[in-house]
Amino acid sequence: MEKDKKTEKKKVIKKNTKKKVDIDIVSEKITKPKVKKVEIEEKIIDNQKYSSFELVLIFVICALIFSLVGYFIGKKADLSNGDYSTATKEIQKFIEEYNYILENYYGDIDKDELISNAIKGMVSSLDEYSQFVDEDSNNFSITLAGEYEGLGVGITMTTDNEIIISSIYPNSPAEKAGLNIYDVITKFNDESVEGLSTSDLVDKISNTDNIKLTILRDTEELTFDLKKEKVVIESVHSEMKENNIGYIKVDIFANNTYSQFQKALTKLENDGMESLIIDLRGNSGGHLLAVENMLSLFMNDTHVIYQTEDKNGIEKIYSTGNKDKTYKIVILQNLGSASASEVMATSLREQLGAYIIGNTSYGKGTVQNLQTISGVGQYKVTTKKWLTSNGEWINEVGVKPDLEISLSEDYYKKPTLENDSQYQAAIKYLNEKEN
């Protein structure tokens, strides 16, 4: 009975893979619009009286409108010359309504929240990947940063509405305390977590220093006292397999992923690696710069590694490397492989002949820019498409594998390398190629 229950939890993680909120690719090359703050203030200050705080918030809204609304992007030439006459008319509409609400709403108004919600409204009118992200629960940014203050656990919700531990980072407070994957969290500081979402629990943990978690492990109830510490997220795991086949698992493309990947690849090569498996299963994306640097380890600067397309046209992004790798490469992917994972898979296949095994990937062919507004929050806005090195757009289509293989039910009951059919297919393919 208990065994069946644990099996179901593992199945749920597989089924929920597509629902991850951090399926993103983040560009670090996008230039913020140049807005002359003084000129904008001079045109509005005569009609309305604002505090310095409000002027800053209004300026933020102006910048957002310039960057988000296609009309103003079309007027880029006028704006770059400092001509805001047309833009000011539209901005003034917002200012008038903002002022009306402040003066006429019957209750108290939190101005930070008012501006935050205004930004949320603008961003939510765009595509599904453009969204406002609250600073307090920004798991996406924390993961991409590569380190954070916390417990070092990942949590997910099962179909039975239980919050379970889905991952534990090495050397974290959670690992040191003895928490295990698939532990069911039942209480936080002696209060039941029933009815809480995973985001609710994350918020509670974020706002508390000393934490007491009660968990259910099989039929045993256990209590753990934990204190948050700096957790370095290890997103790369590697080892040498039989017949000098190297194996590197990449969980996400964070700020520190490139350095971890470079170190792992160098060690494997120094140890005599003859072929390589790169496991991108469940990798939902991350920083575009990280995957650029990682791909440059494999090919010289004559190779296009991907392309981008925006309102100004198509740009080809080239490798910055100096040598092509000649060993065979297999990519493992599944439905949870998205964005930067798809950039890596397609680039290595199209440029170096890498072989892809697994399932068709998620299919996300857009790039988001992450913006932070002090005191208000963060938002992501889609700024461009990305295309494969050969110019294909995989959005909502995904990357089809060269060999389609799904994991068996036995794997989800008790995952091992022996019943990992995708991994075993990669080993077989590389061994056959060597022979």
Any idea which residues carry the catalytic annotation?
339, 350, 364
Q: How far apart are CA 294 and CA 230, in angstroms?
A: 26
As a whole number of angstroms, the distance between CA 171 and CA 315 comes to 42
Which structure tokens are listed for 67?
């960057």
Cα 333 to Cα 110, 280, 343, distances in angstroms: 46, 5, 12
Question: Coil, strand or helix: which one is 370?
Answer: strand
Contact of 380 with 24, CB cutoff 8 Å? yes
CA distance 402 to 419: 20
Distance CA 369, CA 68 (A): 11
d(CA 358, CA 426): 9
Name the pairing type of β-strands 275-279 and 328-333: parallel
- Dist. CA 347–CA 296, nearest whole Å: 10
Side chain identity at 421, as an amino acid letter? S
Closest to 145 in 3D by CA, of 232, 218, 209? 232
